[in-house]
Structure 1
Amino acid sequence: IFILNPCAVDAVQASKACLLEVADLVVVNKSYRDCAAQTVRDLKFETHVPVLMLVAARAEGVGDLVEAIEAHHRADTPARRTARARAQVLSLAQSRLHAHPELDALAAAVAEGRCDAYSAAESLITGSVVDSR
């Protein structure tokens, strides 16, 4: 479940960060705000999953959220679970690669022509040493 506030750049950032790809439900909290309806429209355009409105502080929309969660559990299939797991694995792998201690050195080696991007990527993934002299 991905929960965000309306009127913020959260919807755009979520789309860019691929968060909407792994969400099973999207909830717009503080839906009493003027821009909530537009945020919901934008999100419905960006994703294929249910987008719900909620005012958590007043428990408005909680029943709909519970119903959507239960419906999701009833409709969950092995293929959907596999797709979610795949997206999670890829996201975690991407995070680890971004934080890899050799990334900057490999990027510099590619930029300076000391090795090609394919060899550098293979080195980053496998942890092997690439000849970048």
Structure 2
Amino acid sequence: MEVSQAIEALAALAQESRLSVFRLLVRQGPAGMAAGDIARAVAVPPNTLSTHLAILSRAGLVASRKAGRSVIYAMDVAGTRALLSFLVEDCCRAERSVCDQLIETALAGCCPSEAASECCT
């Protein structure tokens, strides 16, 4: 991940509603949630939520897919893994086992453990 991409991702998370949306989607896992359900869960008007989701999507933290007439949003595992790896990059160079533990803990429950251990490669 480039520094500019990390800055964009961190900036996307540096807003209360977007952070709430991201954390909600992390809890939902790969199944994700429909936009309307997200709006209700975080008490954000739908038009405002659309803007937040677009920012999170451009930052590579959220992905969307069509399901009938709904748009389902979920955490983008690859983008989130890339950001976490970037943040602990120096840790990985110093002591790989510490990095593995950080990434595994951060992604526990939403990513397969074998994939989480590959975050810093």
**TM-score normalised according to structure 2 size:** 0.26
Decide which structure has greater helix share.
Answer: 2
**TM-score normalised according to structure 1 size:** 0.25
**Greater RCO between the two (CA within 8 Å, min separation 6)?**
2
Decide which structure has greater strand share.
Answer: 2
